[in-house]
Structure 1
Amino acid sequence: MKKKSGWRIVFIISIIGCICCAGFLGWYLYQDYRTEKEYEQLQAEAREKAAQEEARKKEEDKVSLEEIENAEFTGEQQGEEAEITENFFVDMENPINFDELQKTNSDIYAWIRIPDTKIDYPIAQREGDPSYYLSHDMYQQPRFAGCIYTEDCNSKDFMDPNTVIYGHNMKNQSMFQNLHLFRDKDFFDSHPDVYIYTPEGVLKYTVFASYTYDDRHIMNSFDFKDKKVFEKYIDDIFNVRAMDANIRSDVKVTSDDHIITLETCVGGQTQSRYLVQAVLNRNGKNE
């Protein structure tokens, strides 16, 4: 009888363990689902409010234009001609309303989108706590999925030689999981563009490399402000010969350029990272 009782206890414990595991898995999947729905809602709200603001500005511009057309020319110069400087912004509509976004979270300072992927997210940065958004969402709530983010060793204007942008490799294909699409050469070849929206305008990048790398902290490993170091780093990228590497050899990248490095994890390889790198186009064009 004691032997049967022992087996019964083991069986009951096993059932309880299975229930607990199922509950944890259900909670984990629900958190992923909720996070994704929150981002979808934020995307829709940001675009809707931006459209409303655009409509309002067009109406104001219309009124201003009518005033100009009806005004008499006095022959006097109204101010001096502005100095023309190099412009990196693309001449396209910015669909993101950053005023509203920053009411949600003042750490959000940009937005990244890669066409034909699920990568369409705000970018955040927490000053003084570089890895904060590794484990916190856009609402600053603890969440395993985290948020797309940069560390405070990078400036927020994307004018550093190399800006590293991090995101989790989520099983539900959210966050930066879709970077792994660039493993496929056909996808890599047909998807060269990355867009980053900022309050000042839209930046367009051309993807020039994707490959598996080690887990070193890139910004702490290279002094990119040293042009010789940056030039050597770029040369090494174009000389990558890994089996999963894709390189766009016809894109010219120099130490005078500004690049972004999109970084995520590799499933089952804790000491590896998958990188997609793109160069900022000048005046919206890759030269």
Structure 2
Amino acid sequence: MTEDEINEMLAGMKTTETAETETATEEQSEVIPVKFEELQAVNPDVYAWITVPGTDIDYPILQHASDNSYYLMHNIDGSYGYPGCIYTENMNSKDFTDNNTVIYGHNMKNGSMFAQLHKFEDPDFFDANREVVIYLPGEVLHYTIFAAHIYDDRHLLYSFDFTDPEVYQKYLDSIFSTRDMSANIDKDITVTTDDQIITLVTCIGSQPNNRLLVQAVLTDREAGAETARAAAATE
């Protein structure tokens, strides 16, 4: 499939409904506007969906069981080549309970995949756009962006044991104490070793040995219902 064909297919896998819907127990579940069953029929490695309001980032997240670089150069239909997929590595769990879940995507010249993370290098854009939403089958996770900065290309999960509170704290301290004037860091947000963060990673065209990191802390985790099931519960 071409990139345009893939994008057209993905557009059909997500609805625009976002309103909350009453469940049979009269509790409110946030609507999950993603057709996970249909996505997983295309590729069972799909396990989540990421949306970054203020950008065009609106994609499934995949994870290959054994080849951590597979989706760097494979598309959702298994074809080889760009743009690849938004993906995590198998060192991270698929339930986003790790202290740091690292999510990768290409910096495509046409602005697709994670290219628009570079918008967060603009201080005004950073101040105005601070949300990341991740959908799982049955859950909706809300994150608040607290950092956008350039980092070297070391592999974060190999370099830091985020399960060690001392290591995790030192890593967080290094972010909030950076003297990099180009970094956008919200020091009014408190992130502790009890928090779970996500790190969105993409390349920098002019700096092959560096990466742009956009980091966000989990602020809310809610039960959710996929659109069709949520609608059925109200009938």
Specify if TM > 0.5.
yes
Q: Which runs of 5+ in 2 are unaligned?
A: 223-235
**Residue of structure 2 in register with 1:27 after alignment:** none
Q: How far is the alpha carbon of 1:253 from its aligned partner?
A: 0.4
Task: Describe the SS at the equivalent of 1:103.
Answer: helix
Where does residue 147 of structure 1 map in the other structure? 85
TM-score of the pair, normalised by structure 2: 0.87
Higher helix share: 1
Aligned position for 1:18: none
The within-5 A match list for 1:49-128 is 92-128=30-66
Alignment of 1:188 onto 2:155: no
Alignment-derived partner of residue 243 in structure 1? 181
> How far 1:38 sits from its partner (Å)?
3.1
Check if 1:252 corresponds to 2:219.
no
C-alpha distance in 1 between matches for 2:179 and 2:119: 19
Structure 1 distance, partners of 2:147, 2:10, is 28
The Cα offsets for residues 127-155 of structure 1, whole Å up to 9 and x where unpaired, read as 11011000001111101211000000100
- Equivalent residue, structure 2, for 1:11: none
For residues 38 and 241 of structure 1, do their structure 2 counterparts lie closer, same or farther at Cα, with a shift above 3 Å needed?
Answer: farther
Deviation at 1:282, TM superposition (A): 3.5
Which whole-Å CA distance do the structure 2 matches of 1:176 and 1:107 have between them?
19
1:38 aligns with 2:8: no
> Secondary structure of 2:101's match?
strand
For structure 1, which runs of at least 5 residues remain unmatched after alignment?
A: 1-30, 66-89
Q: Secondary structure at the match of 2:208?
A: strand
How far, CA to CA, are the matches of 2:60 and 2:137 in structure 1? 12
> Residue by residue, what CA displacement relative to the aligned partner does 1:47-80 show, whole Å, maximum 9, x if unpaired?
25x97xx9xx98x95xx99xxxxxxxxxxxxxxx
Structure with higher RCO (Cα < 8 A, 6+ apart): 2
Poorly superposed stretches of 4+, deviation over 6 Å: none
Q: State the 1:92 CA deviation.
A: 2.5
C-alpha distance in structure 2 between counterparts of 1:143 and 1:283, whole Å:
35
Cα offset for 1:183? Answer: 0.4
Looking at structure 1, the residues matched to 11 and 83 of structure 2 have their Cα atoms a distance apart, in angstroms, of 20
Taking the aligned partners of 2:167 and 2:152, their CA distance within structure 1 comes to 18
| 2:164 aligned to which of 209, 226, 233 | 226
Deviates more, 1:252-261 or 1:274-283: 274-283
Cα gap change, 1:282 to 1:214, in 2 (>3 Å): same
Q: Would you say how many aligned residue pairs link Structure 1 and Structure 2? A: 219
SS at match of 1:92: strand
CA distance in 1, matches of 2:36, 2:70: 21
- Cα displacement (A) at 1:283: 4.9
SS of equivalent residue, structure 1 residue 270: coil
For residue 40 of structure 1, report the CA deviation from its aligned partner: 3.0
Aligned counterparts of 1:91 and 1:216: Cα–Cα separation in 2: 39
Contact 1:112 1:196 in 2 (8 A): yes
Name the larger-Rg structure.
1
Matching residue of 2:228: none
CA shift for structure 1 position 44: 2.6
Seen in structure 2, the aligned counterparts of structure 1 residues 112 and 283 have a Cα distance that, compared at 3 Å, is closer
Structure 2 counterpart of 1:38, one-letter code? E
Report the TM-score when normalising by structure 1: 0.72
2:230 corresponds to: none
Q: Helix, strand or coil: the match of 1:205?
A: strand
SS state at 1:152 partner: coil
Aligned-residue Cα RMSD (Å) equals 2.3
Structure with the higher fraction of residues in strand conformation: 2
Contact 1:39 1:121 in 2 (8 A): no
Alpha-carbon distance, 1:91 to partner? 5.0
Partner Cα distance (2:87, 2:78) in 1: 12
Structure 2 residue aligned with 1:25? none
8 Å Cα contact 2:143-2:220 kept in structure 1? no
